């Protein structure tokens, strides 16, 4: 099976993060030949350091990476894929669609949608949509949290490896040493803080500084790191220490290392789509900052997720987590909500394990996609 996967990097790293994970999994676990078309190789290099942004075509981890430019290179019949994936609201070039349409044995065309917990996606998942001019039709494929969707990205053995890391102090120490954080194990509380801008963050950080618990806050490079550097000038060196609080700025790291970071921390603040999925496989308490949309439409999506995620939680846990998520997503001071969150940490940890077990019972996104594609291609070829 050959697959062309198109990815447009919009304004953050979630798009390329998801596409890169999917491309590797299709190749590693399903032995597909994958070509990943990416329009921004500089951003891609941040999460895959071996990428050379100057090359039009290169092999990375057995995936062919091609630079998606305004004018595509000449396409030949020998390049015809079995499956074409249009990922996360990008638009495949018209010239490529015309090339697809010219084949008698046409590739299958999938539109990989954004993650959603809203119930309406159940009725839209796997539905076909004919092209208005060309003899092509594409199918909508929705990631999600139920069996009526395409599921979530989850590599074989991922959860077991993260559990082992979380339960083994020696492995954690090795991980922190690899990051150059030689004193990380000295902190009683470690928080990963991956977020968009947060206007009301300072009172919460002051609360952490004044607590009796020593806290290490780890902030990946990005807008929030820039904002915090403006609040605390010492962070220009990559480190800020004040009473019980230490903040460190982290360089971009390869995706497997980020997954390990989540497993080694006690609490994970995550943003967008890719990192919230990884936080659920890490199994630790997490707070999700959903990708912002006009007119606060993202809060409806957040509420839909919390409704599913917290269905089996106690009423106290539901109130605590809903209030904390809402305050964080509205860029408000979360000091009060976070203090309550700490009181429920043990119960939330147990709840997350049950939620994780529920998700693991479902098939992963890549396997669902492979099964769907192979069935459709077999049907179409038998019919023709």
- Catalytic annotation, residues: 15, 273
Other C-beta atoms closer than 10 Å to the C-beta of 18 total 23
Q: What is the residue-wise DSSP string for 291-355?
A: PP-GGGHHHHHHHHHHHHHTTTS-HHHHHHHHHHHHHHHTT---HHHHHHHHHTHHHHHHHHHHH
Distance (Å) of CA 133 to CA 96, 97, 137, 316: 14, 11, 10, 54
> What element of type H or E holds 66?
strand 63-67
Find tokens 């780890």 and name the residue.
218
Of 355, 374, 317, 357, give the one whose Cα is nearest residue 117: 355
Query: Contacts from 118-126 at CB under 8 Å and sequence distance 24+?
Result: 118/300, 118/301, 118/304, 119/304, 121/148, 121/149, 122/146, 122/148, 122/149, 125/149, 125/150, 126/150, 126/372
Distance (Å) of CA 375 to CA 33, 197, 248, 304, 378: 18, 44, 49, 31, 5
Other C-beta atoms closer than 10 Å to the C-beta of 151 total 20
Cα 17 from Cα 40, distance rounded (Å): 12
Cα 298 from Cα 309, distance rounded (Å): 16
């Amino acid at each position: 099976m050959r697959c062309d996967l198109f990815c447009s990097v919009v304004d953050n790293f979630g798009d390329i993060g998801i596409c890169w994970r999917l491309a590797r999994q299709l190749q590693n676990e399903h032995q597909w030949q994958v070509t990943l078309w990416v329009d921004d190789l500089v951003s891609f290099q941040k999460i895959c350091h071996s990428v050379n942004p100057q090359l039009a075509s290169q092999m990375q981890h057995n995936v062919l990476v091609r630079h998606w430019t305004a004018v595509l290179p000449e396409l030949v019949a020998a390049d015809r894929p079995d499956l074409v994936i249009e990922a996360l609201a990008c638009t495949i070039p018209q010239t490529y669609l015309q090339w697809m349409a010219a084949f008698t044995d046409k590739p299958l065309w999938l539109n990989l949608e954004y993650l959603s917990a809203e119930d309406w996606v159940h009725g839209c998942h796997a539905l076909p949509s004919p092209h208005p001019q060309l003899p092509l039709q594409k199918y909508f494929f929705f990631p999600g949290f139920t069996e009526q969707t395409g599921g979530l990205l989850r590599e074989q053995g991922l959860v077991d490896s993260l559990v082992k890391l979380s339960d083994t102090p020696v492995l954690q120490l090795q991980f922190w040493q690899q990051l150059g954080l030689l004193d990380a194990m000295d902190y009683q509380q470690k928080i990963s803080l991956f977020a968009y801008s947060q206007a009301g963050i300072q009172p919460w950080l002051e609360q952490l500084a004044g607590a009796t618990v020593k806290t290490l806050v780890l902030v990946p490079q990005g807008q929030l790191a820039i904002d915090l550097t403006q609040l605390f000038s010492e962070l220009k060196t990559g480190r800020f220490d004040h009473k019980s609080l230490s903040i460190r700025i982290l360089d971009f790291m390869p995706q497997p290392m980020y997954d390990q970071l989540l497993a080694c921390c006690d609490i994970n603040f995550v943003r967008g789509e890719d990192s919230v999925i990884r936080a659920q496989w890490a199994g630790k308490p997490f707070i999700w900052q959903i990708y912002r949309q006009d007119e606060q439409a993202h809060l409806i999506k957040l509420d839909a997720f919390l409704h599913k995620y917290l269905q089996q939680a106690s009423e106290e846990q539901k109130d605590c987590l809903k209030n904390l998520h809402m305050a964080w997503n509205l860029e408000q001071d979360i000091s009060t909500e976070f203090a309550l969150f700490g009181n429920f940490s043990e119960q939330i940890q147990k709840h997350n394990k049950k939620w994780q077990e529920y998700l693991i019972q479902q098939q992963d996104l890549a396997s669902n996609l492979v099964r769907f594609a192979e069935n459709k291609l077999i049907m179409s070829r038998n019919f023709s």
